[in-house]
Chains A and B, each alone.
Chain A
Amino acid sequence: MFCEKAVELVRELHRMSDGQLPAFNEDGIRQVLEEMKALYEQNQSDVNEAKTEGKSELIPSIKFRHCCLLRNQRCITAYLYDRLLRIRALRWEYGSVLPTTIRFHMCAEEVEWFNQYKKSLASYMRSLGGEEGLDITQDMKPPKSLYIEVRCLKDHGEFEIDDGTVILLKKNSQHFLPRWKCEQLIRQGVLEHVIS
């Protein structure tokens, strides 16, 4: 049956319903495009035959293939679009620098799209709240205090805070830090928020 490969692409994303980004399935896409090319060519020749030789009995099959073409198109666009939604979410979950393992899962155009999205988000945030801009990816929950207690879950190296002091984020060390500085690192699983 036609369109099996295209639906497989969709299933691949549907299985990861939490929003993880699987590797870009270049091979799958290529196979769908090949099938579409074959369908299109077969239809072209049938349409010509139907026209020149008046073979209207070919119409049901032409229509059949045409449905398959549209179906393939829908699956591929849905696949690409859903991936963009996931990639956009990565900016909010991981920050502007993605782990290399995740970058490897994107195709060149997706990396480009991510960079563009990053840029427009950054210039939007710069335009907010006067001179300094406003980081809208911070304070996703209403803050209770300016400083919070955090524990390091892994070695992260040196880290500079507001006043220019540099502290060493070493595994299992505990610190009292400005909340806005930590939020991203907590989301990334580098720090853990300790509540007393």
Chain B
Amino acid sequence: MDPSEVEFLAEKETVKVIPNFSLDKIYLIGGDLGPFNPGLPVDVPVWLALNLKQRQKCRIVPPEWMDADKLEEIREQERKEDAFSPVPSCHYMELTKLLLNHAADDIPRADEIRTLVKDIWDTRIAKLRLSADRFVGQQEAHARLDNLTLMEINTTRDFLLDSLNSMHKLRANLQPGKSQDY
């Protein structure tokens, strides 16, 4: 998958916005949107929130976890544990980028949040590599990938799958088979 496709999936997550306009409920295949009333918070998909924001039709309320203090705790937790800690959103990386790029003025301490999320990401990727190496080194047959997000898996998927496939074939060499090629 291309990361832009992962981001596309993330845009289906919902986020709270406070609109500055009125509009009746809209009925769409993907679900109903609205109704919109000035000053009244309403849940909408991220793609719509960003579109409204760009046209200055709303203010975005950052998700609860997108908070410098909470993220700092998560970062410490992540650094302490060997295993992957649960993340506040399975699209934390994409949502952080989308919301900070388009609505930084609605999010307090935006720069700190950016750095914290990047730290969390880096810590997790380092763990992912460490566990991949251990997995290969000990010739394990299965691994638990609990709490990993799609974007994290996606950055290393091709490499990891190709490597494991190769290793599997080299291991199969230990049990002699039969074949004939020209």
A–B touch (CB < 8 A): the answer is: yes
Residue contact B182 to A142, C-beta cutoff 8 Å: no
Residue numbers in B under 8 Å from A74 (CB-CB): 182
Check: A71 CB closer than 8 A to any chain B CB: yes
Residue numbers in A under 8 Å from B5 (CB-CB): 141-142
Residue contact B4 to A141, C-beta cutoff 8 Å: yes
Residue numbers in A under 8 Å from B2 (CB-CB): 141
Say which size band chain B's interface belongs to: under 10
**Which parts of B1-29 form the interface with A (CB within 8 Å)?**
2, 4-5, 7-8
- A residues contacting the other copy or chain, number (CB 8 A): 6
Q: How far is the CA of A142 from the CA of B4 in the complex (A)?
A: 7
Residue numbers in A under 8 Å from B7 (CB-CB): 142
Residue contact B8 to A67, C-beta cutoff 8 Å: no
- Interface bits A129-148 vs B (CB < 8 Å: 1, else 0): 00000000000011000000
Residue contact B4 to A67, C-beta cutoff 8 Å: no
Check: A70 CB closer than 8 A to any chain B CB: yes
Q: How far is the CA of A67 from the CA of B180 in the complex (A)?
A: 12
Residue contact A71 to B4, C-beta cutoff 8 Å: no
Residue contact A70 to B8, C-beta cutoff 8 Å: no
Residue numbers in B under 8 Å from A67 (CB-CB): 182
Give me 7 A-to-B residue pairs in the complex whose CB atoms sit less than 8 angstroms apart, sorted by A's number.
A67-B182, A71-B182, A74-B182, A141-B4, A142-B4, A142-B7, A142-B8
Point out residues on B near A: beta carbons under 8 Å. Answer: 2, 4-5, 7-8, 182
